[in-house]
């Protein structure tokens, strides 16, 4: 069946949704994102739709559909579980020359909701002669190709807006960067990158993109934070769009706040794109939840780059006295001293420990020991150290095709 694809600009226009089930629950968020004024008519609704109504994002009339409900509507979605009601809604809409989608019967519907995906300002909608599964499959393939860069979606030749994006790239695997982070990275004219940021992401950049290696190696050669701040600000003030690419999340022991302040103080437009923090994602990749129902009700993330003592701002005694999970970042060098401080605070010398190195990458390694042996157990940067009962319950994850 042939159709004429068209994009509806629904901002400020009333859309009638009849039915409050799962189909309406999937369609309404897109209608709201398009700026539509959604009026929901249904005696019952999903939790998501109920929450939208409670927040004032849509108007919910908690009753059965009545003739005339669509008189002020520009667009109608008939999504009840009663074909007779859907048919009546669609017939009335057609008589009023209002486009209506029947969610239960594509053949009887005068309009279809297309399978849609979006990336970097590009929206792609797919129809497949009324076959929603086929349309969704093609949509997913196009979306994956856009996100992976296999399908190019070049922008018009206008310079990106000058400024800085502070992008967290995630715990190690290049695929774990957020969609927003990847979108901004593709626009970058200058990228200031750390060693722990997935280097594969840099391969997708054009030859005209300036790459600045921040080279912040732990306990070794490094570029001062002041120099990094200066490079970002200077390039942005020259009219460039700069991405500061960091492993994990730059606001979790990543000095992202200092970089944000530098941009704000210089009057440079700045956007923060959070990343998956290795403090949680690293253990998860090794099958270790930092919390688990019935096992532990709290966890603490601490930096170990400063050993216990007057210079450390961590209350190691309190962490030792607690029962929660302790997650350590940047603690390989000082792990022995940290273990001694936790034991002195009351933590059992036999507390379970897992050391997750190169989390989420093909080189991921998990080592286990007890707290008293942490200082003499082999460990290498970059590593996340997990201490507590959840570490004793670590799972051995089956290998996937991705690991082979």
100/78 Cα distance (integer angstroms): 7
Q: Are the C-beta atoms of 23 and 106 separated by less than 8 Å?
A: no
* Domain edge (last residue) among 76, 91, 113: 113
Indicate whether 377 and 304 sit together in one domain. Answer: yes
Indicate whether 311 and 368 sit together in one domain. Answer: yes
Indicate whether 340 and 263 sit together in one domain. Answer: no
Mean of the per-residue pLDDT values of the chain: 90
Indicate whether 259 and 304 sit together in one domain. Answer: no
**Is residue 134 assigned to a domain?**
no
Indicate whether 342 and 359 sit together in one domain. Answer: yes
Query: Does the pLDDT value for residue 268 go beyond 80?
Result: yes
Whether 173 sits among the annotated catalytic residues: the reply is no
Indicate whether 227 and 284 sit together in one domain. Answer: no
Indicate whether 191 and 172 sit together in one domain. Answer: yes
100/16 Cα distance (integer angstroms): 9
Write out the two tokens for 371: 């707290």
What pTM, to 2 d.p., does this model score? 0.74
Residue with tokens 């701040």: 229
CATH of residue 260? 3.40.1010.10
pLDDT in tens, 14-34: 999 999 999 999 999 999 999
- Distance between alpha carbon 188 and the CA centroid of its chain, in Å? 20
234/263 Cα distance (integer angstroms): 10
* Domain edge (last residue) among 91, 113, 135: 113
pLDDT at res. 1: 58
pLDDT in tens, 287-317: 999 999 999 999 999 999 999 999 999 999 9
CATH of residue 387? 3.30.950.10
132/127 Cα distance (integer angstroms): 8
pLDDT at res. 62: 97
- Distance between alpha carbon 157 and the CA centroid of its chain, in Å? 29
Whether 194 sits among the annotated catalytic residues: the reply is yes
19/80 Cα distance (integer angstroms): 4
Look at 149 and 249; give whichever has higher pLDDT: 249
Indicate whether 313 and 243 sit together in one domain. Answer: no
147, exposed or middle or buried, with CB in 10 Å at 0-12, 13-18, 19+? middle
Indicate whether 169 and 269 sit together in one domain. Answer: yes
Q: Is the bond preceding residue 382 a cis peptide, omega within 30 degrees?
A: yes
* Domain edge (last residue) among 231, 247, 276: 276
According to DSSP, residue 156 is labeled: P
- Contacts for 17 with CB less than 8 Å, ≥ 6 apart: 24, 27, 28, 31, 38, 39, 40, 41, 42, 76, 77, 79
313/306 Cα distance (integer angstroms): 9
298/78 Cα distance (integer angstroms): 46
Query: Does the pLDDT value for residue 217 go beyond 50?
Result: no
Write out the two tokens for 80: 């009840």
11/31 Cα distance (integer angstroms): 9
Indicate whether 260 and 295 sit together in one domain. Answer: no
402/173 Cα distance (integer angstroms): 11
Taken in order 377, 382, 388, 391, the sign of the CA dihedral is negative
Residue-range definition of the domain harbouring residue 40? 14-113
Catalytic annotation, pick one of 104, 194, 240, 246: 194
pLDDT at res. 401: 54
Closest listed residue to residue 58, CA positions, set 22, 10, 96, 17: 17
- Contacts for 78 with CB less than 8 Å, ≥ 6 apart: 18, 19, 85, 86, 89, 90, 93, 100, 101, 102, 103, 104
Query: Does the pLDDT value for residue 215 go beyond 50?
Result: yes
pLDDT band at residue 323 using 50, 70 and 90 as cut-offs: very high
**Is residue 305 assigned to a domain?**
yes
Q: Where are the beta strands (DSSP E) in 5-145?
A: 14-18, 37-41, 59-61, 75-78, 99-102, 115-119, 122-126
Catalytic annotation, pick one of 216, 240, 246, 249: 216
Provide the domain count of the chain: 3
pLDDT at res. 17: 98
pLDDT in tens, 78-102: 999 999 999 999 999 999 999 999 9
pLDDT at res. 384: 97
Indicate whether 272 and 283 sit together in one domain. Answer: no
Distance, first Cα to last Cα, the chain: 43
């Amino acid at each position: 069946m042939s159709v004429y694809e068209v994009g509806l600009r629904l901002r400020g226009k009333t859309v009638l949704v009849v039915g409050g089930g799962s189909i309406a629950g999937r369609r309404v968020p897109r209608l709201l994102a398009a700026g539509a004024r959604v009026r929901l008519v249904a005696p019952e609704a999903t939790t998501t739709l109920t929450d939208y109504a409670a927040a004032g994002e849509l108007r919910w009339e908690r009753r059965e559909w009545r003739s005339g409900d669509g008189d002020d509507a520009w667009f109608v979605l008939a999504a009840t579980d009663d074909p007779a009601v859907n048919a009546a809604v669609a017939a009335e809409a057609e008589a009023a020359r209002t486009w209506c989608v029947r969610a239960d019967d594509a053949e009887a519907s005068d309009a279809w909701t297309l399978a849609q995906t979006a990336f970097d300002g590009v929206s792609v909608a797919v129809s497949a002669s009324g076959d929603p599964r086929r349309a969704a499959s093609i949509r997913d393939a196009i979306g994956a190709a856009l996100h992976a860069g296999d399908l190019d979606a070049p922008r018009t030749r206008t310079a990106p807006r000058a400024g800085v994006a502070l992008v967290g790239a995630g715990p190690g695997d290049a695929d774990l960067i957020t969609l927003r982070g990847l979108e901004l990275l593709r626009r970058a004219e200058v990228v200031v990158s750390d060693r722990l940021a997935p280097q594969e992401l840099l391969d997708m950049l054009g030859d005209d993109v300036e790459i600045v290696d921040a080279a912040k190696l732990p306990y070794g050669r490094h570029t001062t934070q002041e120099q990094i701040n200066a490079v970002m600000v200077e390039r942005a003030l020259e009219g460039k769009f700069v991405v500061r690419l960091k492993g994990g999340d730059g606001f979790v022991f990543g000095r992202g706040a200092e970089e944000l302040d530098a941009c704000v103080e210089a009057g440079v437009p700045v956007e923060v794109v959070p990343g998956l923090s290795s403090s949680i994602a690293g253990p998860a990749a090794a099958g270790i939840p930092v919390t688990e129902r019935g096992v532990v009700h709290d966890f603490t993330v601490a930096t170990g780059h400063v050993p216990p003592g007057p210079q450390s701002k961590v209350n190691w005694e309190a962490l030792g006295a607690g029962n929660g999970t302790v997650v350590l970042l940047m603690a390989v060098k000082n792990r022995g001293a940290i273990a001694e401080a936790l034991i002195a605070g009351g933590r059992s010398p036999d507390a379970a420990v897992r050391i997750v190195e190169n989390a989420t990458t093909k080189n991921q390694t998990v080592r286990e020991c007890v707290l008293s042996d942490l200082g003499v157990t082999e460990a290498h940067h970059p590593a996340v150290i997990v201490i507590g009962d959840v570490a004793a319950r670590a799972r051995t994850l089956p290998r996937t095709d991705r690991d082979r």
